[in-house]
C-alpha cells in the first residue's frame, strides 16, 4: 500500500509507526463524562467522552466516523450534539450560535474570552430576558481563529484547539499541529512555552516565531521533536495554489447562465474579490474566503477550501448569510435566496503509475457516464443486444458513487481515459501548474467534453433529447502518469435558507483498484481498493450570492484559474 503519512524508514519513521499503533488504545477513567451520539442512519453508537475539557474519542476511525456524519448536516444538528457537552466542561473552539442559544453561549464564553456585556446589558420583558438594542463591544469574538477554517472540525476542538484520540492529545496551533501522549501533556506545554509558540488560539504567535518554525520544522509528514522526541509535529505541505486572479473573467461558453435580470445586473457590477485567508490562514490547506459585509450586522461569506487536519480532510465550497447578534457572535440567518455557482473547481489525485499495463490500451476508448441512477459505459468492445452498439448499462444509486462523483440534484458525471484532446493531454501530463492550462481545461470541459457526453448519451434509449444538468463532474484518467484530473461544476440555490454548501471530498478516501504488476484496473470506488489518494492543486472559480428583498449581495473570485 502506498503510505502517505510516514517519513522514510529511519529511526524517526520507526518511532512514529509505533506511535500510530497506539491510536487503537482506549483510555478510560471513572472521572470521564460520557455522552452518546446516535447516528440515525446506523444502528451503532459513537461514544463521545469529555475529559479535562476535551472531547475524547476511542480512535481516529471513531472520530472520523462522527465527523463525516456531521460535516454535511445542518449546523443545528451539530449544535444538538455539542450543547449537552458544554454542561460537562467542554467549550468548543467554534460553537454553533443561534438566536435561541446566543445568551447561553455568551455566558459560557465570557470568562474565557474576556467578553464584556454590551452597554445597556440585558433587559426583562415579561417572563423573557432580552438583550438591549445596542452594538456589541467586539465585532467577532471568534474572529482571530483563522487557521482552523472548517467550521465542523473546529466545533469538535475545545477552546484551546485540542482533541484527544485514545491516549494522544492533538493540539492545533497557528504554527501547526502538535501531538503528545496524555502523560506528556505538561512536556508539550513546556516545549511550546520555551519556543514562544502561543498555546491560546485567540492569541497569535509572534510573526517571527511563525516564520522560524515553518522554516525549521519539516512539512507533510509527522515528525518527532523535542529533547526526548515525545512530541510529534505536523503540518501539510504547501502545495495549494497561491495565485488569485485579479479579474474574474466572464463565464465560458456552455456554463450555467442565469435569466434573472436583477441577479445578472448585480453580477455585471460586482468587482472581483481577492480571497483572504490571513498570512497563515492556509496552514492546514486551502482556505479562500471573501466576505461582503453589506450592513453593520449582516454579511455574506463565500468560501472555497481544501482542508487537511491529519485526522480528517474536507474539500468543497460554501456560501452563508450571517447576522451579528447583540453579543458580537455571527450566526447563520435565513434570507430570501442564496445561490452558489461554481463554474470550475479543479483538483488532482496522484497515485502510482501503471506502466506497461495492457488493459490501459484496451480500456483507453471506454467512456463511463453516471446519471439518473444509471451507469452507461461506451466503448468499441461493448455489446448490448437490447441497445445500440457500443453501449452497456447498469443500474446504481448515486449515493453509492465515490463522493467526488456525487452531484447536487442527480447531475451528470463522466469518467474518461484522458481528456479527449491530445494537446491538452500533453499539458496535463506535464503538470497543470499555470492559470493558462487550467483555463484551457475549463474551456475544454464545456466546449468539447460536455458536448460529446451529451451527444453520446442521446444515442441511448429514451435519452434522445437529453440535456445534461448544470451540476457535472468530469474525471480524466492518466494511468501512465499516475494522475487523475477532476473538474466539477456546481449550480446550487435555494429559497428562505441561510447556507448553501457542496462537499467534493470529505475524507472517505477514494481508492483505485490497481496492482503493482500492472494488470489491475483503474476504477475509482467508494471504499474498496488498495491505493489511497488525497486531492491536491485545488483551483476554483466561484460566485456566492444572497438576496435580501430585491437586493443581491456576495462575492466572486477565482484562485488558480482565470
CA 297 distance to own-chain centroid? 27
Using 50 as the pLDDT threshold, list the residues of the chain that sit under it.
1-44, 123-127, 133, 242, 385
CA 340 distance to own-chain centroid? 15
Environment class of 63 (CB within 10 Å of its CB; exposed 0-12, middle 13-18, buried 19+): buried
Residue-level length of the chain: 562
**pLDDT at residue number 30:** 34
Strand partners, 346: 487, 539
**pLDDT at residue number 372:** 85
Are the beta carbons of 375 and 331 closer than 8 angstroms?
no
Find where cell 516565531 sits.
209
pLDDT tens-digit readout, 184-224:
999 999 999 999 999 999 999 999 999 888 888 888 888 99
pLDDT tens-digit readout, 431-482:
655 556 888 889 999 989 988 899 989 988 788 888 888 999 999 988 777 7
Are the beta carbons of 173 and 205 closer than 8 angstroms?
yes
**pLDDT at residue number 357:** 54
> In degrees, to the nearest 5, what angle opens at C-alpha 416 toward C-alphas 410 and 417?
160
Give the single-character DSSP code of 362. Answer: H
Strand partners, 489: 472
Find where cell 470521564 sits.
32
**pLDDT at residue number 14:** 33
Global pTM reads 0.84
**Residue ranges with strand state E in 365-431:** 367-371, 374-378, 391-395, 412-417
> In degrees, to the nearest 5, what angle opens at C-alpha 535 toward C-alphas 530 and 540?
155
Amino acid at each position: 500500500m502506498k503510505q502517505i503519512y510516514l517519513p522514510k524508514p529511519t529511526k524517526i519513521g520507526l518511532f512514529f509507526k509505533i506511535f500510530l499503533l497506539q491510536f487503537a488504545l482506549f483510555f478510560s477513567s471513572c472521572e470521564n463524562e460520557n455522552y452518546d451520539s446516535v447516528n440515525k442512519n446506523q444502528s451503532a453508537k459513537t461514544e463521545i467522552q469529555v475529559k479535562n475539557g476535551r472531547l475524547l474519542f476511542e480512535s481516529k476511525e471513531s472520530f472520523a466516523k462522527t465527523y463525516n456524519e456531521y460535516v454535511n448536516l445542518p449546523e443545528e444538528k451539530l449544535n444538538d450534539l455539542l450543547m449537552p457537552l458544554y454542561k460537562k466542561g467542554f467549550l468548543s473552539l467554534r460553537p454553533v450560535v443561534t438566536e435561541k442559544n446566543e445568551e447561553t453561549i455568551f455566558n459560557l464564553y465570557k470568562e474565557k474570552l474576556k467578553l464584556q456585556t454590551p452597554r445597556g446589558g440585558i433587559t426583562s420583558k415579561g417572563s423573557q430576558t432580552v438583550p438591549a438594542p445596542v452594538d456589541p463591544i467586539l465585532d467577532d469574538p471568534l474572529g482571530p481563529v483563522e487557521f482552523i477554517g472548517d467550521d465542523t472540525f473546529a466545533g469538535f476542538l475545545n477552546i484551546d484547539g485540542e482533541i484527544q484520540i485514545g491516549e494522544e492529545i492533538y493540539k492545533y496551533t497557528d504554527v501547526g499541529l502538535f501531538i503528545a501522549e496524555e502523560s506528556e501533556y505538561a512536556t508539550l506545554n513546556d516545549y511550546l512555552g520555551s519556543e514562544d509558540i502561543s498555546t491560546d488560539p485567540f492569541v497569535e504567535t509572534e510573526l517571527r516565531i511563525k516564520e522560524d518554525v515553518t522554516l525549521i520544522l519539516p512539512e507533510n509528514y509527522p515528525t518527532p521533536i523535542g529533547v526526548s522526541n515525545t512530541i510529534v509535529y505536523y503540518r501539510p505541505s504547501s502545495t495549494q495554489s497561491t495565485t488569485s486572479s485579479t479579474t474574474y473573467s466572464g463565464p465560458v461558453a456552455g456554463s450555467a447562465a442565469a435569466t434573472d435580470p436583477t441577479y445578472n445586473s448585480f453580477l455585471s457590477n460586482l468587482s472581483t474579490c481577492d480571497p483572504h485567508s490571513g498570512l497563515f490562514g492556509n496552514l492546514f490547506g486551502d482556505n479562500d474566503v471573501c466576505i461582503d459585509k453589506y450592513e453593520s450586522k449582516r454579511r455574506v461569506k463565500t468560501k472555497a477550501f481544501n482542508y487537511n487536519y491529519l485526522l480528517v480532510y474536507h474539500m468543497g465550497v460554501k456560501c452563508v448569510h450571517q447576522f451579528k447578534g447583540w453579543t458580537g457572535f455571527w450566526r447563520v440567518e435565513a434570507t430570501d435566496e442564496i445561490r452558489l455557482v461554481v463554474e470550475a473547481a479543479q483538483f488532482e489525485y496522484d497515485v502510482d503509475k501503471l506502466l506497461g499495463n495492457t488493459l490501459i490500451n484496451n480500456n483507453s476508448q471506454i467512456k463511463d457516464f453516471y446519471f439518473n441512477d444509471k451507469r452507461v459505459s461506451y466503448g468499441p468492445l461493448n455489446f448490448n443486444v437490447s441497445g445500440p452498439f457500443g453501449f452497456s448499462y447498469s443500474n446504481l444509486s448515486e449515493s453509492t458513487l465515490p463522493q467526488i462523483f456525487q452531484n447536487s440534484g442527480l447531475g451528470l458525471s463522466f469518467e474518461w481515459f484522458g481528456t479527449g484532446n491530445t494537446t491538452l493531454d500533453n499539458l496535463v501530463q506535464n503538470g497543470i501548474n499555470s492559470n493558462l492550462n487550467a483555463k484551457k481545461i475549463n474551456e475544454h470541459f464545456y466546449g468539447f467534453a460536455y458536448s460529446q457526453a451529451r451527444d453520446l448519451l442521446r444515442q441511448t434509449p429514451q435519452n434522445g433529447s437529453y440535456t445534461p444538468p448544470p451540476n457535472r463532474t468530469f474525471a480524466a484518467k492518466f494511468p501512465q502518469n499516475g494522475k487523475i484530473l477532476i473538474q466539477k461544476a456546481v449550480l446550487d440555490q435555494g429559497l428562505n435558507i441561510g447556507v448553501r454548501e457542496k462537499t467534493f471530498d470529505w475524507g472517505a478516501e477514494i481508492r483505485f483498484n490497481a496492482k503493482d504488476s500492472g494488470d489491475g484496473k483503474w476504477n475509482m470506488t467508494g471504499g474498496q481498493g488498495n491505493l489511497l489518494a488525497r486531492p491536491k492543486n485545488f483551483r476554483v472559480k466561484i460566485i456566492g450570492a444572497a438576496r435580501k428583498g430585491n437586493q443581491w449581495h456576495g462575492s466572486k473570485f477565482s484562485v488558480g484559474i482565470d
